[in-house]
Amino acid sequence: MSKYTFRNATDEERKNGIPTSYGDWIYDNPSNEQFALFFGKVRTLFGVNDSISDDWENMYHYLITAEDENGNKLYFLIYGGRPAIGVPYSGELTPDYKQAKTELLELIENTLPADYVWEGCYYDIPVNVKYAIKNGVVYTSESPAECEEDYE
């Protein structure tokens, strides 16, 4: 049984400037399919927000509040392209943060992905990238960069 419930941070919580400086990649050597599925699952759980970008390295940012039954709150930043979860960091992660992070990852992994289409550019290479999910089926593609002109 989960100790925490997870939700998008409120505007008030965002205004307080929750520091999230430590991030762990979710996958060691992720495939494009894993990127696409992870983002689809996050969208199912937390919706679409105004942080979504066409820059692959900054695809999205979700400030998430984890709250236990006593009203204690912990904060996470879920971000992509290469999916990662950041937490406020000052030394070692506390046991509460470790547990909440584990629960959040389990929740995401056990969620069905939302249907979506995302197109953008990975400017470092540069390459155009497209991720899509339709009825749980993942489609990904990369093509020579038309976005190269924007990269300077």
For residue range 36-82, what is the model confidence (pLDDT) as tens digits?
A: 999 999 999 999 998 899 999 889 989 999 999 999 999 888 988 77
pTM: 0.88
Domain residue ranges in the chain: 4-113
In this prediction, residue 19 carries a pLDDT of 62
How far is Cα 21 from Cα 11, in angstroms, rounded to an integer? 20
- B/e letters for 113-151, b = 16+ CB within 10 Å, e = fewer, are bbebebebbbbeebbbbebbbeeeebebeeeebebeeee
Nearest one of 32, 41, 37, 45 to 5, comparing CA atoms: 45
Closest to 111 measured CA to CA, from 45, 29, 26, 14: 45
- Pick from 26-30, 31-35, 44-48, 75-79 the range whose average pLDDT is largest: 44-48
Banded model confidence at residue 18, pLDDT cuts 50, 70, 90? low
